[in-house]
A and B are shown apart, each in its own frame.
Chain A
Amino acid sequence: MPPFVKQLLLRLLALPVTLLIITAALYGVIMLAPAEERAQLYIPPRTPPLTQEESQQLMDRLVAEHGLDDPYPVQYARWLSDLLRGDWGWSPTFKADVLTLLKKRLPVTAELTFYAVLVILPTALLGGVLSGWRAAGRFDRGYRLTTFVATSIPPFILGLFLLSIFYVGLGWFPPGRTGIYELSLSTSDFRAITGFLTFDGLLNGRLDVVADALRRLVLPVFTLSLLYWATVGRVTRVAMIEEQTKDYLLTARAKGLRERRLEWRHAFPNAAGPALTAMILSAAGLVTGVYIVESVFDFNGLSELITKGFFVAPDAPLVMGFAVFSVLLVLPIILLFDLLRVALDPRLREDGLEL
């Protein structure tokens, strides 16, 4: 088994450990709340609305039944085993099973994240390499100014302004995810295979759906990408500048290699490492950004679960489910960037990733 395969297996093994630590911390926070609050985690499905007295009785019964006065490790283990068995609880706010709710909204958020990463990575790496290679040149000055502006504008304000210009003013890009296609998508001849509207549209041969979905993705993806493009681009630029002082480039240049080859074949793979590490560090921030952008552009993704009925009723199962699910969304992104790092850096293939 080549070392990097072993490393990747180790990485995969590390995922459950990460999950274990974070859920333990999460449940630890919840444990600070009174037992009645936590009893909501076990509200049986299809419970009708209760009066205050009835709900008090139900909570007392649930506390006794589920041993919510037990010590932390016992309770945590019990909650985790329920989670693993797919029993994520019942959400009184949405009157539905929490896992079903989450799974239904996952594709929306995942699609947005997917396109954002697809835009961010190439543009950030390209921009960072070009500007870092000729630091202080004309392109570099323009690039630095652009990234500075991009990092200065809060995404939610940018989103609002884009909506007011391109939706209200020009009528080009409407908000929302489906618009009038909502109706035709729920009929039986449109089969949801991946849940991604753009992919499903292609698979179903409905190009009009694809076009509409792409049109509606333009503004959210742009809003989301701008900030991360700038952040990652800056890191790449600095890494490129640092690579230029290294001896191996001097050697390669002395051997008469062409400038373009030096830039892309020699310096770039080394500079991409820090950029990908920066992406890994901000993966959770990226998902938070997706939620904010979803909310601004009225996408009915995972964030809908937070914003709808946020302050109406306490809903502990939904909260815990959402938190765990968010982590599950971040982990594949981290894994993807790790894979890219290994692909670009042969040293990691030999020595493995640092764990």
Chain B
Amino acid sequence: MRRRLRPFRRRSTLIGLALVLGFCLLAALAPVLAPPLNPDDPWPFMNISQSFSRQPQPPGPGLPLGTTPQIQNMPQYGIAPGQDASFQWDVYYTLVWGARSALRFGLVVTALTALIGITVGVISGYVGGLSNLLAMRVTDAFLAFPVIAGVWVIQRAFYGNIYNPFNDPMTLTGWEAFLYRARIDPIMIAFILFSWMPYARLMNAQARRVKNLDYIRAAEAMGATGGRVIWRHLLPNTIAPAIVLAARDVGGMVILAAAFIFIGFGGNVAWGTMLVSSRDFVIGLNGNPFAYWWTFVPISLALILFGVGWNLLGDGLNAALNPHGR
């Protein structure tokens, strides 16, 4: 055990672990750190003042990180149709609650993509033959598909009613109501459907590498079923690189989702939505890019640190699980 834990004493791994735990803590303590107005249905944005000014308010008493004007014309769960758009958003509040949405998005997407990819890869690799050829062809075809197009297709196909500003979301029924209530956005579905391929390729190669080794052969000779061989023998010995990949993916997925929200897809990663609203103020109104620094620096930093944390954790896991390589 001591030997196993040694890579975790590396400074970079410790930093990564601290960052990830920090964000988890931020998410868990969100109601304490930034009390929501309505504790039953916390929304990651806090509307501050209602005035006609779209000028961000600088940090001051009661507003640790100032405000940024609420964005307009962006589909966003929770904005009632026709809601007045002259609100300001509390930056600190979104920084805290955004950790929750980021973790939720990253963990759900990564867990499901890893599950799909590992299942496809291991089964096709172990069974081999024609099914392997077929599965890998399908995997390669999906690899050629830009996820951004997938987001668009899914948004168009399933979210017509949900994003319709003239619909009251409370009148939705069936799966539309489910998607709305569970706050599942098109980006999440598209990421799950169109980013499992690396796991499939990785696990396929792993399965083919070990399936003719003695211990697998021995298990088969003892009469174990295919499912049991995969579950008890093959997976535990081959899954390490997929775990490393997954750890790195959590951050990457959230950053990519934020980028999609930024260029105009609506989504539920609150940091991304807030960055859209601060876009106009990054360009700096009087030649000084940092004139309105509080509208984007804290959120950008949170996003960057979120990615760095998971990346470092992935590197640490890699060193721990795969002591020979890298």
B28 is an interface residue with CB less than 8 A from chain A? no
Q: How far is the CA of A109 from the CA of B311 in the complex (A)?
A: 30
Query: Could you say which of B145, B156, B258 contacts A330, with CB atoms under 8 Å apart?
Result: B145
Question: Once the chains bind, are A161 and B153 in contact (CB under 8 Å)?
Answer: no
Q: How far is the CA of A314 from the CA of B157 in the complex (A)?
A: 9
Contact with A along B287-312 (1 / 0, CB 8 A): 11100000010001001100110010
Interface size of A by Cβ–Cβ distance < 8 Å?
57
Chain A residues, Cβ within 8 Å of B160 = 37, 314
Chain B residues, Cβ within 8 Å of A315 = 156
A108 to chain B minimum Cβ distance, whole angstroms, is 16
Contact with B along A320-355 (1 / 0, CB 8 A): 101100110011001000000000000000000000
Q: How far is the CA of A310 from the CA of B145 in the complex (A)?
A: 20
A202 is an interface residue with CB less than 8 A from chain B? no
Contact with A along B311-326 (1 / 0, CB 8 A): 1000000000000011
Q: How far is the CA of A8 from the CA of B252 in the complex (A)?
A: 34
B108 is an interface residue with CB less than 8 A from chain A? no
Nearest 6 CB-CB pairings of A with B: A164-B289, A21-B141, A323-B149, A33-B157, A295-B263, A18-B141
Contacts A22-B141, A154-B307, A164-B283: A307 and B263 contacting too (C-beta < 8 A)? yes
Question: Once the chains bind, are A284 and B279 in contact (CB under 8 Å)?
Answer: no
Q: How far is the CA of A168 from the CA of B288 in the complex (A)?
A: 8
Measured CB to CB, the residues of A under 8 A from B are: 14, 17-19, 21-22, 25-26, 29-30, 32-33, 37, 151-157, 160-161, 163-165, 167-169, 238, 280-281, 283-285, 287-288, 291-292, 295-296, 303, 306-307, 310-311, 314-316, 319-320, 322-323, 326-327, 330-331, 334
Query: Could you say which of B144, B150, B154, B300 contacts A331, with CB atoms under 8 Å apart?
Result: B144
Q: How far is the CA of A323 from the CA of B142 in the complex (A)?
A: 12
B243 is an interface residue with CB less than 8 A from chain A? no
Question: Once the chains bind, are B158 and A32 in contact (CB under 8 Å)?
Answer: yes
Chain B residues, Cβ within 8 Å of A37 = 157, 160
B151 to chain A minimum Cβ distance, whole angstroms, is 9
Query: Could you say which of A21, A30, A156, A311 contacts B157, with CB atoms under 8 Å apart?
Result: A30
Contacts A154-B255, A310-B265: A29 and B153 contacting too (C-beta < 8 A)? yes
Question: Once the chains bind, are B287 and A168 in contact (CB under 8 Å)?
Answer: yes
Q: Give the residue name and chain of the A residue nearest to B148 (CB).
A: A288
B111 is an interface residue with CB less than 8 A from chain A? no
| Size bin of chain B's contact surface | 35 or more
Q: Give the residue name and chain of the B residue nearest to A316 (CB).
A: B156
**Interface residues in B128-162 (C-beta closer than 8 Å to A):** 137-138, 140-150, 152-154, 156-158, 160
Beyond A21-B137, A164-B283, A284-B146, 18 additional pairs, beta carbon < 8 A: A18-B141, A152-B304, A153-B304, A157-B300, A157-B304, A160-B296, A161-B289, A168-B287, A169-B289, A284-B147, A295-B263, A295-B264, A306-B148, A306-B263, A310-B264, A314-B156, A320-B153, A326-B146
Q: How far is the CA of A285 from the CA of B266 in the complex (A)?
A: 20
Chain A residues, Cβ within 8 Å of B158 = 32-33
Chain A residues, Cβ within 8 Å of B241 = none
Q: How far is the CA of A156 from the CA of B258 in the complex (A)?
A: 9
Question: Once the chains bind, are B157 and A168 in contact (CB under 8 Å)?
Answer: no
Chain B residues, Cβ within 8 Å of A14 = 137
Q: How far is the CA of A322 from the CA of B201 in the complex (A)?
A: 26
Query: Could you say which of B149, B279, B307 contacts A326, with CB atoms under 8 Å apart?
Result: B149
Chain A residues, Cβ within 8 Å of B138 = 21
Question: Once the chains bind, are A288 and B146 in contact (CB under 8 Å)?
Answer: yes
Question: Once the chains bind, are B141 and A160 in contact (CB under 8 Å)?
Answer: no
Chain A residues, Cβ within 8 Å of B289 = 161, 164-165, 168-169
B282 is an interface residue with CB less than 8 A from chain A? yes
13 contacts between A and B (CB under 8 A): A18-B137, A29-B154, A33-B158, A156-B259, A157-B275, A164-B284, A167-B283, A238-B326, A284-B144, A303-B263, A314-B156, A322-B152, A323-B153
Question: Once the chains bind, are A151 and B311 in contact (CB under 8 Å)?
Answer: yes
Q: Give the residue name and chain of the A residue nearest to B154 (CB).
A: A29
Q: How far is the CA of A280 from the CA of B264 in the complex (A)?
A: 28
B149 to chain A minimum Cβ distance, whole angstroms, is 4
